[in-house]
Amino acid sequence: MAGHSKWANIKHKKAKEDGKKSKIFTKLIKEITIVAREHGGNPDMNPRLRLLMEKAREANMPIENTMRAIKKGTGELPGAQYEEYTYEGYGPNGIAVMIDAITDNKNRTVAEFRRLFSENGGTLGETGTVGWMFEKQGAVTAQGKITEDELLEHLLEYDIKDVQVNDDSCTVYCDIKSLEPVKTALEKAGLKIENSGLEWVAKNNTELNEAQTDKALEFLSKLQDHDDVENVYTNLG
């Protein structure tokens, strides 16, 4: 599953590295604005906002930027009208790609994505082009040392699709309805939640040779670096 893919591991590493760059501020501000608009500006009543505020602190984003983004989302301050969109297509060597994006100019974003796909041997498709290859699941990534057996003990009563345990972190994929309970269970297990939300998880993986994989990963990295991209998913194994 996607939790075990090379791209998932690289994306996780990239997120930590990007946290040191100002580019992460732009993406966080967009996410905070949308989440505050959709679910309110009170982090006590908005778990996703609370998590984004923690990520903003860890990225050393000034609190003024965070509060301004919240107020733009709730309408207390004027600002760009961001919308969330999902794009899909085929990347190099036929890998399937799903993109969650946030933009205030859909036409510009589509044109830039189409160019990125075309220049890297891929094709940006219409809605439904590769979406049937993926399933929307809840995904929670947490920091802390835990064995797979210990992790599963805490998750016995929930609809778990897959788990991935690394040296100092773990990712749990679950039914959408189990997302919040799973997050709470991981916190009770003494783990620190790093990311929580819905993800596109590939039903089956595509395997490529080393050279093809390197080209695909380079393309996926370019997509992830785009200012309008919230997340990139693929069926690359």
Is residue 54 a part of any domain in this protein? yes
CATH number at residue 227: 3.30.70.980
Instruction: Evaluate whether residue 180 is within a structural domain.
Output: yes
Do residues 195 and 219 share a domain?
no
Q: Locate 56 and state its tokens.
A: 């903003």
Q: Are residues 215 and 104 in the same domain?
A: yes
pLDDT, residue 194, reads: 87
Write out the two tokens for 96: 């399937």
Q: What pLDDT, in 10s, does the model give residues 108-161?
A: 999 999 999 999 999 999 999 999 999 999 999 999 999 999 999 999 999 999
Q: Which residues does residue 135 pair with via DSSP β-bridges, in sequence order?
A: 201
Global pTM? 0.85
Let me know whether 119 and 214 are in one domain: yes
Q: Is residue 9 part of a domain?
A: no
Angle at 3 between CA 171 and CA 130, to 5 degrees: 135
Q: Taking CA 141 as the corner, what is the angle to CA 138 and CA 146, rounded to the nearest 5 degrees?
A: 125
Asked if the structure places residue 226 within a domain, the reply is yes
Antiparallel, parallel or unpaired: β 96-103 and 169-174: unpaired
Whether 52 and 146 map to the same domain: the answer is: no
Q: Say whether both 197 and 138 belong to one domain.
A: yes
| 67: pLDDT strictly greater than 90 | yes
- DSSP structure class, residue 56: H
In angstroms, what is the C-alpha Rg of the chain?
Answer: 18
Q: Do 40 and 151 reside in the same domain of the chain?
A: no
Residues 6+ apart with CB under 8 A from 115: none
Query: How high is the pLDDT of residue 1?
Result: 40
The proportion of the chain whose per-residue pLDDT surpasses 70, expressed as a percent, equals 93
For residue 3, the model assigns a pLDDT of 41
Report pLDDT for 11.
74
Q: 19 lies in a domain?
A: yes
| The pLDDT of residue 22 | 63
Calculate the alpha carbon distances from 37 to 51, 57, 75, 80, 102 in Å.
Answer: 15, 20, 8, 12, 13
DSSP class of residue 178 equals: G
Cβ neighbors of 149 (< 8 A, separation 6 or more) are none
User: pLDDT band at residue 41, thresholds of 50, 70 and 90?
Assistant: very high
Tell me which residue range forms the domain holding 213: 84-125+205-234
Query: Looking up tokens 């979406």, which residue turns up?
Result: 131
Contact 108, 153 (CB under 8 A): no
Same domain, yes or no: 215 and 121: yes
pLDDT, tens only, 182-219: 999 999 999 999 888 899 999 999 999 999 999 999 99
- What one-character-per-residue DSSP string does 184-206 give? HHHHHTTPEEEEEEEEEEESS-B
The structural domain count of the chain equals 3
For residues 174 and 58, membership in a common domain is answered with: no
